[in-house]
Amino acid sequence: MKRVYLDSAATTQVRPEVIVKMQEALTNCYGNPSSSHSFGRSAKTGIEKARKTIAKQLNAHPSEIIFTSGGTEADNMVLRCAVRDLGVKTLITSKIEHHAVLHTAWELEQEYGISLQYVELDEFGNPDLGHLESLLKKDDHKKLVSLMHVNNEIGNVLDIDAVGKLCAQYEALFHSDTVQSIGHFSWDLQKTHIHFLTAAAHKFHGPKGIGFAYIKRNSGLKPMILGGSQERGFRAGTEPFHNIVGLEEAFVLAYQNLVEEREYISSLKQYFLEKLQAAIPEVQFNGHSGKMVKSTYTLVNVCLPFDPEKALMLLFHLDINGIACSAGSACQSGSNLGSHVLMEILSAENSKKPSLRFSFSKYNTKEELDYVIQVLQEFDKN
């Protein structure tokens, strides 16, 4: 049986070079970075080197990079601390954000009594910037806007510069969950008006359990996790040096190979779109995922014209044929609820049909995509 992994939006295969770096760190640099002896100083030096590497690529200051356990913690930290420390009274987001943002926003509404407002979406899931502006100028309350750069389910790419300009115009704070775009898109944080962004290493061929938050200097945020002076006093806890080294290596390789790998992965997506439409003419693409210029090159979300009752077995059918993909966000595994993203944008008719997210990486091939389409056709015929 073939094994085809098309779920890189959930997590990516770790690069071999990253594994080597992490093994070296675990074997040779096991001192506590907070210790004053040479073992500790060596680890601390490595952490600061990684911080500078990331900051340089993003055109940020090293002090603005705070290592976290991943994107979920970073999102929680930014939103909670902004409300607690910066006097935010209104949080503006959308109903198709990652649950790390949505669930945190709901809790903040209950805990602090903030006004939680949602930007209207068009039929493809794009935020209405005119509506966003009307929310921003509604009153003089301190506002925080949280809109993700690349949607993790349908792949829509936000015009982050346009949102940033609106936030600057109305003196609002701007946070973006960039978990699906860091490592896949170029950034210059001196040219983009943004106060906070979040990232996770396992989305760009690094290890799980490590990520970072960009927190603009002099933001006024205070620590959420207390107990030590790590991360310049912002996040207590002994740093996982081996994971930070892995993140750095994956980050460096992602941007060293960005142009080449983007071109290759884009060609895979274009090939898949064309072959799938030829094989299953009634297929539809959710959001803007079927358009190369309006969505990320790393994923496509398809609505298949299969019988809804029969489609209950579709993921199982793919799995027993060695194919990994997602029916929705992987973070919803174990839940009986459908995708909250698709529920917001699909018609009543299409919401009954099976939708699948296929996400690509440098490790995929056109032969694999041919096999996936073949398996889908066989399922439709049986």
- What are the residue numbers of the active site? 331
What backbone phi and psi angles, to 5 degrees, belong to 254? -60, -45
Is 119 within 8 Å of 136 (Cβ atoms)? Answer: no
Q: C-alpha angle 168/173/177, rounded to 5°? A: 110
**Element containing residue 65 per DSSP (H, E):** strand 65-68
Reading the block at residue 205, the tokens are 């061929």
Residue type, 69: S
Separation of alpha carbons 69 and 206, rounded Å: 13
Is 210 within 8 Å of 179 (Cβ atoms)? Answer: no
Separation of alpha carbons 106 and 83, rounded Å: 12
Separation of alpha carbons 263 and 209, rounded Å: 29
Residue type, 198: T
Is 134 within 8 Å of 122 (Cβ atoms)? Answer: no
Is 29 within 8 Å of 248 (Cβ atoms)? Answer: no
Separation of alpha carbons 168 and 297, rounded Å: 29
Reading the block at residue 8, the tokens are 């890189």
Separation of alpha carbons 270 and 292, rounded Å: 7
Give first-to-last CA distance, the chain, whole Å.
19
Strand-pair partners of 164: none
Reading the block at residue 366, the tokens are 């056109």
